[in-house]
Amino acid sequence: MTPGELVDLVEVLPAIRAIDIKTGAKRSALAKHAAHIADEVATRFDWDFVCDTADATSVANHPDYTLKGNNQDCRDIINIRYKATSTDYYVLLCKYRPVDMDEKLSGVDSSDSDVAAWTIKGRDSSGFPIVTLVGTPGQAGDTIRYRYRRRNISTSDFPEEFAPVLQYSLVAKMAPSYGELAERELQLMVDRYAAPGGDAHPAKLDAQMKLRNQERAGYFGY
């Protein structure tokens, strides 16, 4: 569904027709809101059609990498896997917050180990994420495979069954009473896409951080 088709669909609804502004101004407002609806819905869940996977190549002794995606469309990183040229398999790297990485690397030479973790460093001038790998790659040519969320999502990228979600989300922009209905439609779709496959998904915790947490617990709050 294109943004124009979405506006056509919503413009004739009673809730929108009842808004007392000129038709031209009303359609213009709907068109502006429609441009943001797809982005808002896209960020509410890791929909399969919003995510993609791309590869980057390591540079010897270089820890920082700007990840732009396959089509200059990388919004943010979900996870990173690393494959050295000497191996036939990928290793899923742990992700840390910058403050957690500071603690993990306290007193440690980050270049004197295999690549095992990453943290977000910031963004470049175009808004693409910059990540730091730890330990620092010791050779060039290794594969950095990252799963990411795409940016610049359009309503045309959504499957047809998302029509009610997009429709009521747009209506709610101009008729707030539809907000609850829009949220319900969105949650129904989230539940559908998040349906479990029967597997457990325990949260992973770094061994060193687990030890530090246990040490802190021994102080009983002091």
pLDDT in tens, 61-81: 999 999 999 999 999 999 999
For tokens 């399969």, the residue is: 48
In this prediction, residue 106 carries a pLDDT of 72
In this prediction, residue 205 carries a pLDDT of 58
Q: What DSSP character marks residue 45? A: S
In this prediction, residue 21 carries a pLDDT of 87
Side-chain half-sphere exposure of 162, counting CA atoms within 13 A: 21
For tokens 């009473």, the residue is: 177
pLDDT digits 0-9 by tens, 91-123: 999 999 888 877 777 766 655 568 889 999 999
In this prediction, residue 7 carries a pLDDT of 93
- Total-model pTM: 0.79
In this prediction, residue 136 carries a pLDDT of 86
Residues 18-54: b if buried by 16+ CB within 10 A, e if exposed: eeeeeeeebbebbeebbeebbeebbeeeebeebebeb
Tokens matching residue 198: 């029967």
| Residue numbers in the chain where pLDDT is lower than 50 | none
- What is the Cα–Cα distance from 173 to 156, expressed in whole angstroms? 19
